[in-house]
């Protein structure tokens, strides 16, 4: 089976490629490298000991996409490609809608033209907005508070419309909670540009001395210690979820919408403590004002994933932090080897 992986050079995509290749799938990576590098492809090749086909192109480039489907027999697409920075999306809504929504429309149009009708889409827990309670099941009300989140909601709706128009489509919407961690080899991992927005990359860069102190955004939330609670999930567990979805996709007779989380909520302070344990030293932090748009708590009810995919997360918060730290300490400047 040949799988086209859009955004396959990125953080979640690269880990998923490794898992799929090890399970015997052929992968073709399609990525414009707007948030990734050739180095991540080399690292996937190192881990899997296989040559990887990279098509360096944009999902908005219809001709380039047609050429891929003409050249290869693609059985299914995993669609990771997209811009994902919440704050940037507020500043540049058109860029986000163009890249994420228009790009997906072009991808679907070309897939349809080539009778490839199986797609796994990267959605996000952000589609639950500010949930009324936790744990969150897939039937919770949906909302968006920023253009990034709205792009995910729209694409989910577009994919449901595709299925309504033609029930031969096999569609899986995977709603990820907070992916962290890295491949256990420390060879691939998350490589954010500039100052990290997300918690664990920021903690990791503080631990290695690139940042002075972690700002904890608010300690007066209604949570066990006042700091925000999230469902952190190991990226290798997430990768396994994609493999399990692909293995079953041809059997689905409706659009499948599935949470991928652990079902456990950890506060910012809990994560900091687990990370300190991995590093073996304390990490400086200070309490800062709440970050606009943040919610108190968000964690999944992952029981539907278990029922439908036979999937459940197996790695705990300590393993997530150990693997994030191994990646960070082996690669203090991410994939930018020249700077190391």
The residue whose Cβ lies closest to ligand NAD is 10
In the complex, residue closest to ligand UFG by CB: 228
Among 140, 176, 221, 335, binds ligand NAD (CB under 6 A): 176
The token pair at 328 is 């960070």
Single out the segment in contact with ligand NAD by CB under 6 A; choices: 79-87, 156-164, 286-294, 330-338. 79-87
Residue 197 binds which of ligand UFG, ligand NAD, none (CB < 5-8 A, kind-dependent):
ligand UFG
Say whether residue 156 binds ligand NAD (CB under 6 A).
no
The distance in angstroms from the start CA to the end CA of the chain is 38
Distance CA 75, CA 5 (A): 11
Q: With binding defined as CB under 6 A, does residue 124 bind ligand NAD?
A: yes
CA dist 48 and 55 (Å) reads 18
Interface with ligand NAD, residue 234, by CB under 6 A: no
Q: Which does 291 bind (CB under 5 to 8 A by kind): ligand NAD, ligand UFG, none?
A: ligand UFG
Sheet holding 229-230, edge to edge: 266-267, 229-230, 297-298
What CA–CA distance (Å, rounded) separates 39 from 167? 40
The CA-CA-CA angle for residues 287, 289, 220, to 5°, reads 75
Tell me which of ligand NAD, ligand UFG, none is bound by residue 230, counting a contact when its beta carbon lies within the kind-specific cut-off of 5 to 8 angstroms.
ligand UFG
Beta strands in 125-238 (DSSP E): 170-176, 178-180, 214-217, 229-230, 232-234
Residue 18, class by beta-carbon neighbours within 10 Å (0-12 exposed, 13-18 middle, 19+ buried)? Answer: buried
Helix (H) or strand (E) holding 77: strand 76-79
Stretch of 17-25, 56-64, 135-143, 295-303 lying at the interface with ligand NAD (CB under 6 A): 56-64
The residues annotated as belonging to the active site are 148
Q: Which residues bind ligand UFG (CB under 6 A)?
A: 84, 86, 124-126, 176-178, 197-199, 202, 214-217, 228, 230, 268, 291, 294
Q: Which of residues 253-282 bind ligand NAD (CB under 6 A)?
A: none
Q: Which residues bind ligand NAD (CB under 6 A)?
A: 6-7, 9-13, 31-36, 58-60, 80-84, 99, 103, 122, 124, 176, 178-179
């Amino acid at each position: 089976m040949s799988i086209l992986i859009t955004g396959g050079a990125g953080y979640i995509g690269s880990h998923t490629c490794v898992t799929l290749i090890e399970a015997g799938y052929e992968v073709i990576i399609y990525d414009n490298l707007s948030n990734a590098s050739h180095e991540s492809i080399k690292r996937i090749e190192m881990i899997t000991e296989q040559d990887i086909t990279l098509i360096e192109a944009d999902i908005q480039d219809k001709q380039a996409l047609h050429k891929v489907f003409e050249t290869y027999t693609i059985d299914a697409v995993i669609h990771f490609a997209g811009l994902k920075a919440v704050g940037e999306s507020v500043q540049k809504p058109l860029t986000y809608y163009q890249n994420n929504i228009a790009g997906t429309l072009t991808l679907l149009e070309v897939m349809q033209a080539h009778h490839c009708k199986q797609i796994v889409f990267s959605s996000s827990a952000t589609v639950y907005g500010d949930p009324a309670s936790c744990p969150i099941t897939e039937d919770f009300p949906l909302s968006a508070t920023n253009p990034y989140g709205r792009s995910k909601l729209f694409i989910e709706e577009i994919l449901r419309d595709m299925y309504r128009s033609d029930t031969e489509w096999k569609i899986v919407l995977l709603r990820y909670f907070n992916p962290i961690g890295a491949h256990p080899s420390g060879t691939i991992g998350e490589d954010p540009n500039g100052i990290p927005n997300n918690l664990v990359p920021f903690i990791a860069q503080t631990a290695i001395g690139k940042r002075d102190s972690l700002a904890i955004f608010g300690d007066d939330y209604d949570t066990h210690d006042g700091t925000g609670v999230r469902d952190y999930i190991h990226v290798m567990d997430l990768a396994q979820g994609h493999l399990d979805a692909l293995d079953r996709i041809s059997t689905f007779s409706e659009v499948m919408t599935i949470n991928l989380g652990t079902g456990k909520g950890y506060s910012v302070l809990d994560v900091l403590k687990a990370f300190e344990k991995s590093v073996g030293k304390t990490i400086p932090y200070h309490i800062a004002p709440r970050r606009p748009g943040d919610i108190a708590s968000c964690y999944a009810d992952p029981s539907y994933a278990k029922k439908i995919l036979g999937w459940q997360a197996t790695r705990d918060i300590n393993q997530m932090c150990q693997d994030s730290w191994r990646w960070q300490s082996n690669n203090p400047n991410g994939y930018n080897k020249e700077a190391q």
